[in-house]
Amino acid sequence: MAKDGLTEFRLVGTRPDRPDGLDKVTGRARYGADISAPGMLWAAVVRSPHAHARIVKIDTSKAEALDGVKAVITRADFPEGLTGEAWNLQENTMAGDRALYDGHAVAAVAATSAFVAQDAARLIEVEYEVLPHVIDVDDAIKPDAPVIREGAADATVPEGMPPNVVRYMEFGHGDVEAGFGAADLVMEKTYKTEATHQGYIEPHACMGQMGEDGRGEMWVCTQGHWFIRKMCTDVLGLDPAQLRVTPSEIGGGFGGKTTIFMEPLSLALSKKAGGRPVKVVMTRSEVLRATGPTASASMDVKIGMTKDGQITAGRAEFRMQGGAFPGAPVDFALMCGFAAYKMPAVEHIGYDVLANRPRAAAYRAPGSPMGAFAVESLVDEMCRELGLDPLEVRLKNAVHEGDKASYGPKFGSIGLEEVLQATKAHPNLLAELGPNQGRGMASGYWFNHSGDTSVSLAISEDGTAQVSVGTPDIGGSRASIALMTAETLGIDYEDVRVNVVETGALGVNEPTHGSRATFASGKAAVMAAEQAIGEMCRRAAAKWGIDPEAVEWVDGAAQPAGPNAGKFPPMTIAEIAAKMSSTGGPIAGHHESVPEGVGASFGTHVVDVEVDPETGRTTILRYLVVQDAGRAIHPAYVEGQYQGGAVQGIGWALNEAYIYGEDGRLQNTVFLDYRIPVASDLPMIDTVIVEVPNPGHPYGVRGVGETGITPPLPAIANAIHDAVGVRLRSLPMSPPAVLAALKAKE
Amino acid sequence: MHYHSPSTFEDAARLAASTTGVTRFLAGGTDVLVQMRAGMVLPDDLIDLKGIPGVADIQQTEDGGWRIGVAVPGIQLGAHAALVADWPGVVEGMELVGSTQVQGRATLTGNLCNGSPAADSVPGLVAAGATVEITGQDGTRTASVEDIPAGPGKTTLAQGELISAILLPPRGQNGGDAYLRFIPRTEMDIAVVGCAVSLTLDGDTVTAARVALGAVAPTVVLVPEAAEAIIGTTLDDAALEALAKAASAACNPIDDKRGTVAFRTDVAGVLAGRAAKIAYTRAKGA
Amino acid sequence: MSKTHVTTKVNGDTVEFLADPRASLLDCLRDNLGLTGTKEGCGTGDCGACSVTLDGTLVCSCLVLGVEAEGREIGTIEGMAEDKELHPLQRKFIEHAALQCGFCTPGFLVAAKALLDQNQNPTEEEVRYWLAGNLCRCTGYDKIIRAVMDAAAELRGEAA
Amino acid sequence: MSGAVSVHLWSSLTRFTDGARVVAVEAGTVGQVLEALSGAYPGLEPILEAGVSVVIDDELVTDHHSAVPEGAEVYLMQRIKGG
């Protein structure tokens, strides 16, 4: 458990105020749309109203003639000849010969005001030839489905597959048929999940400036500005070193801001408008129609279990669509699906399928929630069938360090057993349930991720430190990195300033994704601090005239390491820093690597619900999140990740969904009908932070952001079944769906 | 777009009659601004009614009824204790429209004129037997609230006509009303089904009732069969069952992003029973 | 399209701007007056990020026209701290880690202050319903509700 | 230095390896493993080029210069990234 200051650490595990708190409670913090610049223009984007259509003609003449319009662009203004992912990005930024989904950009305009830009956009005339479209993944995978794109399949797809299958995979181990043969109960069911959106409250926004010379700047809300730089310059055929990208504060991302959508438009418009900066701010409808939601899934799962709850074999065949481009996370869905179980034999089959929907982006543990919905629902169904306690069955089959993972390799240090035991001990499991109330549980998994990381640290003249990181602070990572840096240096938390810096200031960084900021930037910051400590020890050694190896760093000061090193009073960081100019110059540290030693995180959730049998409405009565953090650097923000992830999962389970009409157009393009949970929908979210330290991180961090979205989908389905005896195998479990299931049972 | 802020309803009516393009009236603005923002409606003329004296007033009329100005926001209705005591169902319908923030702006008149079949405040007004005062170029007339909506997004008002007040009848003795709606979340949604019941008791027996349903037909509908199911009863189980059946039978809904035909039809009956019980309790307590 | 001259008071200061008649009060605060603390999350009154007070009433500034501000008094997040002293809600939001990305925070603070200005002893349920029009996608609301309840306790003079 | 390394492939890759799920290559580093695979089974090259995650025993390894101990079990997995 997180001990809140009772750990062996001075600062790690405490809950200080976050360094950017003051800016964020006073309105001073500057987000994507909060910037402006002299001569700035405003952009508006023309988007396809059709799910699939050939673009016959675009007439921009009326828009160009409007007073105040400075640039109009279409695909004709982009370079030709791109291939692979660069082409995918360009095609998604601006449609070529065909619009591939409702909301696909087809033209953009920059003008002297937002209203002029919008007026001009309405004057752009686009002639479409509407083509047949396909939305649902089970329709899209049919051999005779409308073909989204010829030749989009990669080398993994065998000959003879349906035309919209663009990636195919099989993996597993053991003799699955023998495993099913050894089981007392074999069940196979089909589950479906609908696409949901990350739903960050800040719409995408940027201001880009690009001169005729190919040099430019961008201000943008993003999880990763090096990704933005590479993707924008790929799409526009520019030199990445000539584009400097500065991240704004970011108003939520959850994976959705790890790629580009309209950012290249600002640069292309700016270039055409003589280098004037161009601001692009999406409306909420544009966010829902044209940025990346997650994939939708159709999943067959088969499990064999003995009478006493031993899993003997599993098989999963998942079909997922991630929009009109490859990239649905069917691989991760399969890899996470059975991850919580020792699988003597398991087989996974996956299809990545194209459909006429916006291109899916990452969304918090991409794929894992779908896989868990299918597998954790079926495990629960089988426990009920066999009269077994679902928690005991999960303990019985739980994976431990050294076990072969369902997806292949052996697990390193993991804390699933500890998580399940902490769950079992929690008082929520003793709460009494009334009529129409039920309890459900499920586990979830995420690998966590490292990635390119570059951090620099500088000691100031007064012995304080500044740390430059390249991972935008999306939920308190400045605080966690400052805590670890201060702990390492032996100085006060308040004496470390963590800055999220622009692309010109550091080597390449991957985005804040994969739950990596506190793991990877944190680890790199610690290593940079250790480098600076080494230099400070050398300076002390030089002053004392002893071997640097004979100096150690204790409590923020250099001191002789043991009595043989000599007798000198400790030299504090402030004393060393005050003299640094005359002892060899600035003291700094830096670290660049793909930090190894990522630690995976398991979590288990338990939810109590009440179902209104007359309306089908599900109310969350109680909610418990138990998850392995490795080590909670700032426990309050770890709890926040658990709570936020759980509530996103609750939304996905109950009411969120992409709803399409027969015409293939998205029907719920505003928050009124894209129903994310509101404050009155929820109880407090109870949390237990389990700490099984990750040996691959200096303070034991695993990364906590993603696992939490995974268990709610099946846990709620299991609880609804417990409450009213109906099994929902399709999301969302909205009141009409639950009521229909209740009526069907009668 | 031209923004106008007339100081009388007559001026507003004249302005509206004289315009040739798209005209919208601005009461609370919570629908008009959203439509403008989405580009669904791009008015040439926007006539703001909030500058007209008296539009933000709630007045008791001589007969004991109520006259509610067109710019009275939900928050003001909810804060008016005497009005809440008389017509709690009307007020709770309005208070369900949008968030606390929206309550600071949204009005009964705007909710009615937006023409949504799912408007939360309209079933309560219909069940209450409310009327509206309409000002045109040639003077004023009154009409029943249920006669205003003509279909989704449409009203029966002619060009150059506008509502100048909402009129609630006197509540009288032993009366009660209630409005319930079903939404997927607990707040912030548009009604999937709404139902208002207003009734009067003599002792334990219902002597008069009006039942109105929202979101189950192209307009909010008054359902006399549902009222008849409970008139003359003590709202016993048989009466409640008959009420639910009649309410469900009156539904002519659609499948859409908010609900299905089957769901709306079922839940209309459920809500009618639940709302009737609340109205009954209120009438007993009155 | 001709613009309208508007004189209004924002956080106690008299200000003037030229408003496009189509521009919302939110647009005018952000783009004409440089008060970017008020955020746009939806533009349809569904998220509360643009919450301000208009003559003391909590509203979504995206649902008010800029021209309607003439002669009114507007309160925004930038005016919440008085004499450099943070409002208890602002302090409690930091203390309770009631923000992750911080984008919805100004709207929550303005809305919560409007509640506590009229009710210093709200129940958890009252806080949850009052704030139902403020969407937060990061926190699951738990810590926000705790921060508001704790600020209310402090305003009542109770120890936290 | 190089030695015999067994590489575990995901099963749909077996159509490029004449049906073998586990293939033996001579390699001393992760990069050499991938090169040896592409050399022996050209059909794998586009898939390896597109990016795979490499796990040596229980450790995810991103540095292609990392040493692969003789006799190590190497797993190729779908490339893991973040969300």
Chains that touch A (3 or more CB pairs under 8 A): B, C, D
**Residue D17: inside a domain:** yes
List pLDDT tens digits, range A515-571: 999 999 999 999 999 999 999 999 999 999 999 999 999 999 999 998 888 899 999
Cβ-in-10-Å burial (0-12, 13-18, 19+) of A505 comes to middle
Give me the pLDDT at residue A460, please: 98
Pairs of residues, one from chain A and one from chain C, whose beta carbons lie less than 8 Å apart: 188
Q: Are A593 and A430 in contact (CB under 8 A)?
A: no
Mutate to test the interface with D, among A83, A88, A156, A173 (most CBs of D within 10 A): A156
**Residue D47: inside a domain:** yes
A3 has a pLDDT exceeding 50:
no
CB contact under 8 A, B99 and C45: yes
Q: What is the dihedral of CA A502, A505, A506, A509, to 10 degrees?
A: 10
Alpha-carbon distance B126 to A520, whole Å?
62
Alpha-carbon distance A733 to B120, whole Å?
25
Q: Are C55 and B73 in contact (CB under 8 A)?
A: no
Pairing of strands B131-136, B139-144: antiparallel
**Residue D36: inside a domain:** yes
CB contact under 8 A, A408 and D78: no
Alpha-carbon distance A353 to A169, whole Å?
12
D83 has a pLDDT exceeding 80:
no
Alpha-carbon distance B259 to C31, whole Å?
39
Percent of chain C with pLDDT over 70: 98
CATH number at residue D74: 3.10.20.30
Beta strands in A447-492 (DSSP E): 453-459, 465-469
Question: How many Å lie between the alpha carbon of C66 and the closest alpha carbon of chain A?
Answer: 14
* Average pLDDT value over all residues in chain C: 96
> DSSP of B20-88, one letter per residue?
-S-EEEESS-TTHHHHHHTTS---SEEEE-TTSTTTT-EEE-TTS-EEE-TT-BHHHHHT-HHHHHH-H
CB contact under 8 A, B48 and C64: no
* Residue D72: both structure tokens together: 């190590």
Give me the pLDDT at residue A5, please: 45
Percent of chain A with pLDDT over 90: 97
CB contact under 8 A, C90 and A678: no
Structural domains in chain B, sorted by start: 175-285 (3.30.390.50)
Task: Give A2's pLDDT tier (boundaries 50, 70, 90).
Answer: very low
List pLDDT tens digits, range A425-463: 999 999 999 999 999 999 999 999 999 999 999 999 999
Chains that touch C (3 or more CB pairs under 8 A): A, B
Contacts of A149 (CB under 8 A, 6+ apart): A100, A324, A354
List pLDDT tens digits, range D5-47: 999 998 888 889 988 889 999 999 999 999 999 999 999 998 8
Alpha-carbon distance A534 to A552, whole Å?
9
Alpha-carbon distance C92 to C99, whole Å?
10
Ranges of residues in chain B whose predicted pLDDT is under 70: 286
CA atoms within 13 A on the CB side of A147: 10
Q: In what order do the strands lie in the sheet with B66-68?
A: B58-60, B66-68, B162-168, B131-136, B139-144
Radius of gyration for chain D, computed over Cα atoms and rounded to the nearest angstrom: 12
List pLDDT tens digits, range A699-734: 999 999 999 999 999 999 999 999 999 999 999 999
**Closest residue of chain A to B264, computed from CA coordinates:** A736
Alpha-carbon distance A489 to B213, whole Å?
68
- No. of H helices and E strands in chain B? 11, 14
Domain housing D46: 3-78
Structural domains in chain A, sorted by start: 412-446+599-746 (3.30.365.10), 450-593 (3.30.365.10)
Closest CA to A294 of A335, A263, A265, A258: A258
* Residue A69: both structure tokens together: 């319009």
Percent of chain A with pLDDT over 70: 99
List pLDDT tens digits, range A677-692: 999 999 999 999 999 9
CB contact under 8 A, D75 and A409: yes
* Residue D60: both structure tokens together: 């995810």
CB contact under 8 A, B187 and A614: no
Q: Count up the domains in chain D and report the number.
A: 1
Give, in order, the Cα–Cα distances in Å from A611 to each of A619, A709, B211. Answer: 6, 22, 27
Mutate to test the interface with A, among B186, B216, B270, B277 (most CBs of A within 10 A): B186
Q: Which amino acid is at D44?
A: L
D19 in reach of chain A (CB within 8 A): no
Give me the pLDDT at residue A195, please: 98
Cα-flanking dihedrals φ and ψ of residue D71, to 5°? Answer: 80, 0
**Residue D25: inside a domain:** yes
Q: Are B261 and B253 in contact (CB under 8 A)?
A: yes
A30 has a pLDDT exceeding 90:
yes
List pLDDT tens digits, range A219-274: 999 999 999 999 999 999 999 999 999 999 999 999 999 999 999 999 999 999 99
> DSSP of B125-139, one letter per residue?
HHHHT-EEEEEETTE
C-beta neighbour count of A421 within 10 angstroms: 16
List pLDDT tens digits, range A566-618: 899 999 999 999 999 999 999 999 999 999 999 999 999 999 999 999 999 99
Mark whether A and B touch (3+ CB pairs within 8 Å). Answer: yes
Task: Give C1's pLDDT tier (boundaries 50, 70, 90).
Answer: low
Q: Mean per-residue pLDDT for A380-408?
A: 97
Closest CA to C62 of A77, A427, B33, A551: B33
Radius of gyration for chain B, computed over Cα atoms and rounded to the nearest angstrom: 19
Of B2, B75, B99, Cβ closest to residue C48: B99
Interface confidence, given as ipTM, is: 0.96
Give me the pLDDT at residue B183, please: 97
3-state secondary structure of B112: helix
> DSSP of A615-639, one letter per residue?
T--EEEEEEEEEEE-SS-SSHHHHH
Give me the pLDDT at residue D73, please: 85
CB contact under 8 A, C133 and B33: no
- The enclosing H or E element of A91 equals helix A84-93
- Peptide bond before A143: cis, by omega within 30 degrees of 0? no
Question: How many Å lie between the alpha carbon of D35 and the closest alpha carbon of chain A?
Answer: 18
Give me the pLDDT at residue A690, please: 98
List pLDDT tens digits, range A506-524: 999 999 999 999 999 999 9
A390 has a pLDDT exceeding 80:
yes
Give, in order, the Cα–Cα distances in Å from B20 to each of A582, B26, B45, B159, D19. Answer: 81, 18, 9, 10, 76
Cα-flanking dihedrals φ and ψ of residue A87, to 5°? Answer: -65, -45
List pLDDT tens digits, range C89-109: 999 999 999 999 999 999 999
3-state secondary structure of A31: strand
D50 has a pLDDT exceeding 90:
no
**Residue D83: inside a domain:** no
* Residue B53: both structure tokens together: 């004296």
Mark whether A and C touch (3+ CB pairs within 8 Å). Answer: yes
Structural domains in chain C, sorted by start: 4-78 (3.10.20.30), 88-155 (1.10.150.120)
Mutate to test the interface with C, among B31, B47, B96, B99 (most CBs of C within 10 A): B99
Q: Bin A160: left if φ > 0, else alpha if -120 < ψ < 50, else beta.
A: left
Alpha-carbon distance B222 to B212, whole Å?
4
Task: Give C159's pLDDT tier (boundaries 50, 70, 90).
Answer: low
* Average pLDDT value over all residues in chain A: 97
Give me the pLDDT at residue C160, please: 52
Closest CA to A261 of A366, A120, A358: A358
* Residue B183: both structure tokens together: 């939404």
Give me the pLDDT at residue A475, please: 93
Interface of B with A in 218-257 (CB under 8 A): 256-257
Q: Are A286 and A197 in contact (CB under 8 A)?
A: no
B260 in reach of chain A (CB within 8 A): yes
The residue with tokens 């919008």 is A118
